[in-house]
Structure 1
Amino acid sequence: MSELKMGDRVRILNGGECKVLAKLGEGGQGIVYKVSYEGKEMALKWYFIEKMKNPKQFYSNLQRNIEQGAPTDSFLWPQELSEYSQGESFGYLMELRPQQYEDFSRFLLARVRFSSVAALINAGLNMVEGFRALHNRGYSYQDLNDGNFFINPQSGDVLICDNDNVAPYGENLGIAGKSGFMAPEIVLKKKNPDVNTDKFSLAVMLYLLLFMNRPLEGKRTMVPCMTEELEHKFYGSEPVFMYDPTDDSNRPVKGVHTNAIRRWPIYPEYIREAFVKAFSKNSMNGTAPRIIEKEWQELLTRMRDDLAICEHCGNETFVHYDREMICINCGKPVKVSYSLKTSRYNVPLLKGKYLYKCHTDASSEDFKTITVEIKTKKTDPSVIGLKNVSGLNWIVNNADGTILNVKNGDMLTVQKGMEIMMGSTKTVVQ
């Protein structure tokens, strides 16, 4: 590869040229530059072509991905290719990362923190949504790791980068992945990356996001020197989840895996159970199915539903719809008076929270569009109201047999036993 210099010009396949303005960073595949193209500042990823097994195939795959377009706006997707002659380097143009987005690795190093637990959960939901859209398009990512994400710490919005490794099912670009993120069968070279191995890597990413430690690294991996043979053992032939309920050989080490030790007890039980399932020996050796994106989305949506502000200390904690919980910060009891049971969720009704289309429309997976605002009466906070912002009319059957019609924009005061038809979806106040 010939490294580019400031002021160099690169010809673009569809016409024109870009001018190199600055070097932004360097990785294993190449260097990223800030460039000017047709009056706009963009990013140019320029490859170490000598490290590629099949540059022509890689270039053709990039060209196809550009023609197909990004699965969602969350992808920093390739937009334009440079010209390419055999034996020469090439690259592609993409949007620049907005300044408010931080590299995920900075969160892991505690150089950046989420503004709230709600923002952290939103980041997980957005990661899952991106990969669900990618897989539904018929693609696999093939090199999913902690360097693939930029996250807004205030909102949890996510941008997925390095999409040059994306390829259709059944195709492989000669890329395996990063140690600790690859599925065991890839480490063992039993298969190439695909959608099923992406599911394992996504589980690793979600564990990192929530617990800020790697799931397969505990006291077993505390070795003086991590050799290739040991990597093969710890991540391929004999992986052990740090919280495996049947094998305590790889438990987190006090003073080393501090985040996992502190966070494991405070997250809801169903989240812990999901990771035990995701990193069970059967899941890792391929004899049990892996958790799919839809299941992660429903789990994280439930986790967001159960996040509340403690009435005693004012900090974020987790609640449950049918039992008293202890605040994870002050240790005082927190109880939910009402919940709304839907076909998939049982949502605690708490002031300042929202319901989304996935709650009020049984056919929807939309966890972003707000359909209900939860409010309390100013003179009596124990009185809970649901503001209909769904765009639909609701039909309400009260426990006493009376029927109400709640139009879009109207407020409904909840009562136990109330049945609410939100469009075609039946919900019940408990």
Structure 2
Amino acid sequence: MSLSDGTEVDLGPLGRARIIQLLGQGGQGFVYDVRLANGEALALKWYRPECASVEQFNEMQRLVESGSPHERFLWPISMARVEGEQSFGYVMKLRDDRYLELSFLLSNTDRDGNPLSVSFASTINMCRQLSYSFLRLHARGMCYRDISFGNVFFEPEHGTVLICDNDNVGVDDGTSRVLGTPFFMAPEVVRDLTYQTLPSTDTDRHSLAVLLFYTLFLGHPFEGARTDAGLRDTSWLLNYFGTDPVFCMHPERDENRPSDIVQQYWSIYPKFLQDLFVQAFVAGVDNPGQRVTEGQWIKAMDRLRDGMVTCRGCRATGFWDVAEPDRTCRSCGTSLQPPYLLRIGRRTVAVSPLATLRTDHLASGVDESVVVGQVRAHPEDASRWGLHNLSDRPWEATYGAGQQVRLEPDRTMEISDGLRVTVGSATVVAVRTQAV
């Protein structure tokens, strides 16, 4: 039974709140906009009576007590009761309207049907944030159990993500009552008709890989020519996603090639990223221990972002990589090799108008990366490049010939072969690519 506007809700330690309006509903219950006495807005999920079991209450109470593993999870803050009602609910932070369900990325439109523009940088940021968020969740000994489109929201301009419906989350102990969402469930869960194979960190990793594949390539990793035929019924799902799934970009089997758009995006990205998805959906299909970990995805997204360049011929965005120095633009065939590289420890940044120096270059384990330096093209000479200090501290630099300079904040120095710049505890070394 739904609750009326104005109903008073007891939020325990948070005090009391009143329902402002119904925001939506689903199979488990209703979601309302509620306001605390101080005016703060929260979202209330209220369970239908048939879903309001003692087990569900206890699980939600444990999540409230454990606290959120990361702020990107719209985590249960407090349990909720209404006098005279047999059911219960919980409150979480209210999601900003700027965030769209991830499925809008595939349709390339916003809620109003307008064209949606999401840059490569935003897409990479989405993938990195998702990987880091689930890394934090799994480090708690928990698994999400239902990673899918419907539970992830993103802000198109920057690629910031929010993860919702966290009442799916539980301890990774094989006692799940949630199996997941079709097309995202791991093959071992799909094909087990006894329902004894339950979600875990390993199955989460498969679901995360599917989500990342959708985000980067705009298609499902197991859908292609092979799955186009037949009625999409239970047996179709069991066969193509459970007992005999074939990765659409399998290096040795071509019977399930995907749509042209998926293949076009596949060709955009470097081989190291392709290899990770082959690992996830070939080796990792029947061997959960070989699935790609969250840490591997984070490193891959950093490497991908470090190699993002602007084509000198047509200005399209492309991806260069140290392991593939001869990569060319997908649009016009121009070489994507940058004029210089910036090396920071094991990281290599391709010099281009898109290149930045960030805090994740300077220290490991960084989540929210902050830009501290920006590569800038000379306004009149295309062969000259500069490094602009966006931090609040000066940098000490030494040119290849031995000249020492001090780069103050909001100032730019020219990049040349052999330049060494000290940024905090890290050293940035510029190398001309012809010398690599």
> Could you state the TM-score of these two structures normalised by the residue count of structure 1?
0.88
The CA distance in 2 between the partners of 1:364 and 1:422, in whole Å, is: 17
**Kept after mapping to 1: 8 A contact 2:23/2:31:** yes
Q: Give the Cα–Cα distance (whole angstroms) in 2 for the partners of residues 260 and 424 of structure 1.
A: 42
1:145 aligns with 2:148: yes
Q: Residues 22 and 35 of structure 1 are in contact (CA less than 8 Å); yes or no, is this contact kept in structure 2? A: yes
Give 1:59 deviation, angstroms: 1.6
Deviating more after overlay: 334-343 vs 9-18: 9-18
Query: What is the aligned-residue identity percentage?
Result: 32
Of 153-162 and 398-407, deviating more is 398-407
Q: Specify the alignment match of 1:348 in structure 2.
A: 350
Partner of 1:270: 272
Q: Which amino acid aligns with 1:312?
A: G
SS at match of 2:263: helix
Q: Equivalents in 2 of 1:17, 1:424: separation in Å?
A: 49
The more displaced of 346-355 and 364-373 is 364-373
CA distance in 2 between partners of 1:171 and 1:87 (Å): 32
SS of equivalent to 1:147: helix
1:209-224 alignment to 2 at 5 Å? 209-224=215-230
Question: Which whole-Å CA distance do the structure 2 matches of 1:329 and 1:208 have between them?
Answer: 22
1:98 equivalent in alignment to 2:99: no
SS in 2 for 1:14: helix
Q: Deviations over 1:269-306 (max 9, x none)?
A: 222221111101x3111265211111111111121222
For residues 48 and 205 of structure 1, what CA distance do their matches in structure 2 show? 29
Which is further off, 17-26 or 399-408?
A: 399-408
Q: In structure 1, the residue corresponding to 2:268 is in which secondary structure?
A: coil
Q: Work out the CA distance in 1 between the residues paired with 2:425 and 2:133.
A: 28
User: What is the deviation of 1:394?
Assistant: 5.2
Deviation at 1:385, TM superposition (A): 2.3
Change in CA separation of 1:59 and 1:110 when aligned onto 2, cut-off 3 Å: same
Amino acid at match of 2:43: A
Q: Distance in 2 between matches of 1:133 and 1:62?
A: 19
Change (3 A) 1:324 1:340: same
Q: Shift in Å at residue 65 of structure 1?
A: 1.9
In 2: Cα distance, 1:29 partner to 1:358 partner:
40
Across the aligned residues of Structure 1 and Structure 2, the Cα RMSD in angstroms comes to: 2.8
Please identify, of 378-387 and 62-71, the stretch whose mean Cα deviation from structure 2 is larger: 378-387
3-state SS of paired residue (2:18): strand
Contact 1:320 1:336 survives alignment (8 Å): no
Counterpart position of 1:44: 44
1:62 alignment partner, SS class: helix
Match of 2:74 among 73, 76, 83: 76
Give the drift of 1:37. 3.2
The amino acid of 2:94's aligned partner reads L
Trace 1:193-212 onto structure 2 (pairs within 5 A).
193-212=199-218
Q: 1:225 maps to what in 2?
A: 231
**5+ unaligned residues in a row in structure 2: which ranges?**
111-115, 432-436
Please give the alpha-carbon distance, in whole angstroms, between the structure 1 residues aligned to 2:124 and 2:413: 28
Structure 1 residue 28 corresponds to structure 2 residue 31: no
Q: Does 1:328 align with 2:330?
A: yes
Q: Structure 1: which 4+ aligned runs deviate by more than 6 Å?
A: 84-87
Greater shift after overlay, 337-346 or 176-185?
337-346
Change (3 A) 1:353 1:57: same
1:183-214 deviations in Å (ceiling 9; x for gaps): 12222245321212111111000001111111
Alignment of 1:12-27 (within 5 A): 12-14=11-13, 16-27=15-26
Size of the alignment, in residue pairs?
A: 421
Whether contact under 8 Å (1:33, 1:43) holds in the other structure is yes
